[in-house]
């Protein structure tokens, strides 16, 4: 059996690509980054209905699932769009299954609820927040999009169990400390809790965080796929324009081979990302393996391809004025976001039956 995107999914991706080309041009992106304020993009993204794609109609979404979210992540990566709050919120959606009002508010308002997990670890792998007599205490380092959130969904360890607690960011016991990233297209902040009180959700936190981990793996891999596609397009275009010895550098065999290798990486990445998204969405028995393979392989290859693209661009690729630096930094952060390839390869190794 052969699987492929439906006509509706293909149309969705094409329309979103056109919308982003008009609403997130390189000039607009640089303006937002220089002002350190992605709100104009986030507001337009929400008002035009894109934030609701991939969520069920019962909570005010437009339908679709993880495949649609992966397609959106791919296009956001292709434009290097400021999408930290979007990704943090999409990871929070499965956690709010028993809190429909909070889920509806998230979809309706856009940037509202962000899942407070460390950006460099696999979601659920490390829970540092605890609860004492006054409330929640502890900190979560480098939470993706926390500086954009109104509410936080915090995993809390209570002896051997983990709970999910919904907190308001305007509480005096919740402190958000913004961190600077080399990748300016995304934002993180440390969350420090000193007796914060919130609402404990009635969900199996371990199971939900396991689902969130696979969701995060797929969406970060999809974002990296979009980054990889854009770097290939930029490199091919530049190799046609730049001339040495009276001919375009794209006519040199070494450049052709490097670009061909990048193309192979794009096509293989697209295959595993789409497979992983569909597999996780359908609850396939090997969904965890597919998601882990996507995160490990796609983000690692994209980070390697960024070095190739930088080399083929030559000196201009190192300049602040050239857009390649935006994608280079995004590719490098994507490799580490929500667990580096080694962490996900360990998951694959643990799940495979290597010895009879």
| pLDDT of residue 58 exceeding 90 | no
Token output for 191? 């969350």
Q: What is the mean pLDDT of residues 121-144?
A: 89
For the segment 20-31, what is each residue's pLDDT rounded down to a tens digit?
Answer: 999 999 999 999
Q: What is the mean pLDDT of residues 307-312?
A: 92
Q: What is the mean pLDDT of residues 244-266?
A: 80
Q: What is the mean pLDDT of residues 186-209?
A: 92
Rounded distance between C-alpha atoms, residue 263 and residue 269, angstroms:
10
- Three-class DSSP labels, 315-338: HHHHCCCCCHHHHHHHHHHHHHCC
Backbone angles phi, psi at 141, to 5 degrees: -85, 140
| pLDDT of residue 189 exceeding 90 | yes
- The answer for 265, left when phi > 0, alpha when psi is -120 to 50, beta otherwise, is alpha
Residue 255, CA atoms < 13 Å, CB-side half-sphere: 20
Backbone angles phi, psi at 171, to 5 degrees: -65, 140
* Chain position carrying tokens 């149309």: 11
Report the run of H or E that residue 267 belongs to, with start and end. helix 253-282
Q: Which is it for the CA torsion 76, 80, 86, 92, positive or negative?
A: positive
Rounded distance between C-alpha atoms, residue 100 and residue 273, angstroms:
29
Whole-number percent of the chain with pLDDT over 70? 97
Q: Which is it for the CA torsion 120, 145, 213, 225, positive or negative?
A: negative
Spatial CA neighbour of 287 closest among 274, 278, 295: 278
Q: Please tell me the predicted confidence (pLDDT) of residue 37.
A: 93
More confident residue, 143 or 242: 143
Token output for 6? 């439906």
- The answer for 350, left when phi > 0, alpha when psi is -120 to 50, beta otherwise, is alpha
Rounded distance between C-alpha atoms, residue 33 and residue 84, angstroms:
13
Q: Please tell me the predicted confidence (pLDDT) of residue 356.
A: 62
| pLDDT of residue 133 exceeding 80 | no
* Chain position carrying tokens 């661009």: 313
Q: Is 354 helix (H, G, I), strand (E, B) or coil?
A: coil
| pLDDT of residue 172 exceeding 80 | yes
Rounded distance between C-alpha atoms, residue 235 and residue 72, angstroms:
23
Q: Please tell me the predicted confidence (pLDDT) of residue 249.
A: 66
More confident residue, 95 or 71: 71
Q: What is the mean pLDDT of residues 9-28?
A: 96
222 near 74, Cβ under 8 Å? yes
Q: Please tell me the predicted confidence (pLDDT) of residue 233.
A: 93
Q: What is the mean pLDDT of residues 35-48?
A: 92
Rounded distance between C-alpha atoms, residue 222 and residue 281, angstroms:
14
Spatial CA neighbour of 182 closest among 317, 300, 327, 28: 327
Kindly report the average pLDDT of the chain as a whole number: 90
For the segment 81-105, what is each residue's pLDDT rounded down to a tens digit?
Answer: 999 999 999 998 888 877 777 778 7
User: By 3-state DSSP, what share of the chain in percent is helix, strand and coil, each rounded to 5?
Assistant: 60, 15, 25
- Beta-carbon count within 10 A of 335 CB: 21
How many residues make up the chain in this entry? 356
Q: Please tell me the predicted confidence (pLDDT) of residue 250.
A: 64
* Chain position carrying tokens 């390869």: 345
Among the ranges given (53-67, 187-201, 237-251), the one the predictor scored with the smallest mean pLDDT: 237-251
Q: Please tell me the predicted confidence (pLDDT) of residue 246.
A: 73
Helices (H), 81-196: 84-92, 100-109
Token output for 172? 């005096």
Full set of structural domains in the chain with CATH? 7-111 (1.10.540.10), 114-204 (2.40.110.10), 206-351 (1.20.140.10)
- The answer for 175, left when phi > 0, alpha when psi is -120 to 50, beta otherwise, is beta
Using 50, 70 and 90 to split pLDDT, how confident is the model at 1? very low
Q: Please tell me the predicted confidence (pLDDT) of residue 183.
A: 95
Whole-number percent of the chain with pLDDT over 90? 67
| pLDDT of residue 355 exceeding 70 | no
Backbone angles phi, psi at 176, to 5 degrees: -110, 115
Q: What is the mean pLDDT of residues 282-290?
A: 95
């Amino acid at each position: 059996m052969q699987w492929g995107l439906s006509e509706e999914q293909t149309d969705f991706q094409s329309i979103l690509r056109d919308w982003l080309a008009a609403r997130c041009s390189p000039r607009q992106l640089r303006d937002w980054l220089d002002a350190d304020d992605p709100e104009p993009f986030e507001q337009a993204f929400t008002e035009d209905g894109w934030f609701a794609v991939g969520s069920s109609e019962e909570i005010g979404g437009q339908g679709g699932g993880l495949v649609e979210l992966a397609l959106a992540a791919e296009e956001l990566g292709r434009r290097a769009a400021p999408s930290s709050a979007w990704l943090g919120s999409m990871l929070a959606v499965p956690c709010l299954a028993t809190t429909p009002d909070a889920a509806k508010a998230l979809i309706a308002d856009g940037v509202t609820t962000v899942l407070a997990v460390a950006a460099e670890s696999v979601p659920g792998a490390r829970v540092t927040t605890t609860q004492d007599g006054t409330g929640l205490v502890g900190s979560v380092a480098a939470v993706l999009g926390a500086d954009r959130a109104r509410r936080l969904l915090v995993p809390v360890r209570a002896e051997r169990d983990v709970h999910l607690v919904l907190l308001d960011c305007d509480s005096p016991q919740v402190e958000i400390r913004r961190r600077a990233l080399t990748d300016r297209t995304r934002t993180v902040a440390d969350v420090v809790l000193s007796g914060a009180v919130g609402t404990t959700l009635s969900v199996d936190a371990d199971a939900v965080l396991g689902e969130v981990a696979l969701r995060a793996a797929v969406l970060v891999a999809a974002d990296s796929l979009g980054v990889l596609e854009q770097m290939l397009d930029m490199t091919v275009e530049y190799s046609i324009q730049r001339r040495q010895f009276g001919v375009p550098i794209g006519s040199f065999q070494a450049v052709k081979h490097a670009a061909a290798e990048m193309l192979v990486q794009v096509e293989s990445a697209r295959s595993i990302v789409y497979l992983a998204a569909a597999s996780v969405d359908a609850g396939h028995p090997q969904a965890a393996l597919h998601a882990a393979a996507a995160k490990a392989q796609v983000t690692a290859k994209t980070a390697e391809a960024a070095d190739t693209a930088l080399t083929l661009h030559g000196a201009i690729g190192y300049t602040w004025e050239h857009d390649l630096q935006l994608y280079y930094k995004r590719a490098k952060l994507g490799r580490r976001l929500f667990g580096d390839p080694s962490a996900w390869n360990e998951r694959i190794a643990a799940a495979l039956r290597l010895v009879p």
